[in-house]
Amino acid sequence: MTAVKTLDHNASRLLTPGFRLGTESPAFDDYELTFDLGHPLDLDAVRACLDETMRRFTREQGTDADVWLAPRLHHALRLTRREAAHRGLWRWLGVVFASDYVRWRWGPSEESSEDPEAAARTDRFDGPDYKHALARLWWMAELFRNGPDYTPVATALANQDIPNNLFRMDVAHHRPTVQAAVAVLDGRTGREANALAKAVNSAATTLVIDTIGPDNPLDPEAGLAWVSDPDIDPGRYFDEMPSGPEDPPAAEAAVTTMVDLLEDLLAEAPVRGRSTEDDPDEDSVELGSETSA
């Protein structure tokens, strides 16, 4: 089984356009360090999910690929939040372990392209959690799952403005707000997703979302059981949705309250391109149910 490692950030200088295009293969050995998690991590299962993504979808189907991969990546890559906060781990995953996937998802649509301008950007290999090709999917799944239910993750990723905006904000650490946002934005445009994210973030400076919608805490026992489970069978979930850690779902009453609040905020928020009636938004993908190839 492949052993997980971290990669020192000084390896970043080797992420040349040639590496990002896949035409150069710098040696990263000097920058790799073993990473002892103290529990099994089945990187072969992760590899199987990445390979299947690249088989099922074309490079043009990036959003559909994200919707499919995020729950399965989270299911296969069993990490605690503390471990997943480690930037060096994601750097190693993006640069060494899964650079082919990063290029496939974020590189030029023509695989053979040698245009450095079209190469996947450095931050897709080695960037913050909202940019990194794999970290963004894993963290979206972690923050948008409702207990073991990954369905809201798929719904949210179908609208790429949710990972680009709401996901990056501190309010996304409050589960009832996240679940309410997914419910309110279902079927809405990307511009509405952006407008709502801003409105919630702004409202949170004068309203305390934690007292409006008190949440259930995560269950550390469930988390421990999740990362200690050595039996992952990724192929079993290629055509059906896997389930995640057995944390309690976000408090239902809190989600209901937050839905009301978010509906009000969205109704009042300035939405680009919206006058008195909703305009169709050509730039954005409509939210929908999970897409299979």
Partner 1 sequence: MKALFPYPTLFGDVTLSVTEVAIDDEPVAGRVDVDRRVVNLYGIDRAEWETARVSVVVSAPANEIEDADAPQCVAVTNCGPSNQRVSSILAPDGGTTGRWAGEILLEREYWYAHAELRAGVVATVDGAGHRVVGNSDTWTVMFDDLPNRPVNGAIKITWVDFSDPGDDKQYLQKHSDNYVYLSIDPEEPQLFLNRSFDGLEQLLADRRRRHLDRALHDQTRASIADKTWSALFNAAIESVEVDEETGEPTWPSVEWQRTVLEALLVRMYPDKAPEEALGNAWTARNTRDNPGTLQELLAPAAAVQARAPRLLRDGIRIIANELEADEEEQTQ
Distance of closest approach, residue 34 Cβ to partner 1, in angstroms:
10
Please report, as residue ranges, which positions from 109 to 168 form the binding site for partner 1 (by CB under 8 A). Answer: 128-129, 139, 142-143, 168
Using rule CB under 8 A, residue 194 touches partner 1: yes
Q: Do you know the residue count of the chain?
A: 293
Q: Which stretch binds partner 1 (CB under 8 A): 46-54, 55-63, 171-179, 181-189?
A: 171-179
Using rule CB under 8 A, residue 207 touches partner 1: yes
For the four alpha carbons of 75, 88, 94 and 51, in that order, the dihedral sign comes to negative
Distance of closest approach, residue 51 Cβ to partner 1, in angstroms:
28
When binding is defined by CB under 8 A, the residue of 19, 31, 97, 237 that contacts partner 1 is: 31
Site string for partner 1, 243-282 (x = CB under 8 A): -----------------------------x----------
Which tokens hold the place of 44? 């072969």
Using rule CB under 8 A, residue 192 touches partner 1: no
Interatomic CA distance for residues 118 and 154, integer angstroms: 28
Is the Cβ–Cβ distance between 139 and 129 less than 8 Å?
Answer: yes
DSSP 115: -
Distance of closest approach, residue 211 Cβ to partner 1, in angstroms:
5
Is the Cβ–Cβ distance between 187 and 286 less than 8 Å?
Answer: yes
Nearer to partner 1, 151 or 201 (CB): 201
For the four alpha carbons of 69, 72, 75 and 77, in that order, the dihedral sign comes to negative
When binding is defined by CB under 8 A, the residue of 1, 55, 60, 82 that contacts partner 1 is: 82
Nearer to partner 1, 63 or 80 (CB): 80
Interatomic CA distance for residues 270 and 195, integer angstroms: 6
Q: Could you give the C-alpha distances from 119 to 75, 94, 125, 196, 237, in angstroms and in order?
A: 29, 14, 11, 32, 31
Using rule CB under 8 A, residue 103 touches partner 1: no
Q: Could you give the C-alpha distances from 181 to 96, 197, 264, 287, in angstroms and in order?
A: 35, 8, 12, 12
What residues line the site for partner 1 (CB under 8 A)? 8-10, 30-31, 33, 80-82, 84-88, 128-129, 139, 142-143, 168, 170, 172-174, 194, 198, 205-208, 210-212, 214-215, 217-218, 220, 223-224, 272
